[in-house]
Amino acid sequence: MIIIMLGAPGTGKGTVAGLLSEGLGIPTVSSGDIFRKAIQDRTELGIQVEGYLSRGELVPDDLTIKVIEDRLNKPDLANGVILDGYPRTTMQAEKLDKFLEGQGKKIEIAINLETPREELIERVVNRRICSNSECKTIYNLKLNPPKQAGLCDKCGSELTQRKDDNEEVMNNRLDTYFKQTQPIIEFYEKKGILHTEKVSLSINRMGTDVAKELIERLKK
């Protein structure tokens, strides 16, 4: 089973993807996590992408496509994957379809999360992430704060804030997303596999609600 997670930064793609991964028993691959790990390790890839991410820009297609295709060839993804943050452009989506076709596979569903812009900015500014690379649990200081300030409930590791989780960079990321990534929604809608969900405090519907319903649907 291959699932695509779509949505602007801050919609909760990572949270929903993690819950789907647990419920369906298939791994999650996040392009953002791959890039951030490369930056942390100061690899050649990390040095290349650091400038783009720090400015809230998208990493160029050719570089992103190569990284994801290399990851999709790993044996732990043989039975399925949840792709979080990829594809982000129509070119990436088309290349992904061609790559999967070569493996005799296809995307089953593209899940698109929508949240009001002002709420997205507030979410990201208050987002904290477990520093343990084996855990990476995501918290929000307002929506789901940790029981003990600054520490992960699951493993006790320190919580950190991404350098790009600030209002200025977030506005740039959102502008970039709606300009360059929005066409992908139309791409998957035309293919008949798009499933859009609104996630917002204003309607009392959060990512956990969406994930629970989707797990039940996809298990049938």
Q: Annotated catalytic sites, by residue?
A: 13, 88, 127, 162, 173
DSSP state of 4: E
Burial class (CB in 10 A: 0-12, 13-18, 19+), 153: middle
Cβ neighbours, 10 Å, residue 125: 16
Closest CA to 74 of 27, 133, 35: 27
CA-to-CA distance for 49 and 60, rounded, in angstroms?
A: 9
Q: Are 12 and 139 in contact (CB under 8 A)?
A: no
Q: Are 5 and 84 in contact (CB under 8 A)?
A: yes
Cβ neighbours, 10 Å, residue 217: 10
CA-to-CA distance for 68 and 86, rounded, in angstroms?
A: 8
CA-to-CA distance for 33 and 39, rounded, in angstroms?
A: 10
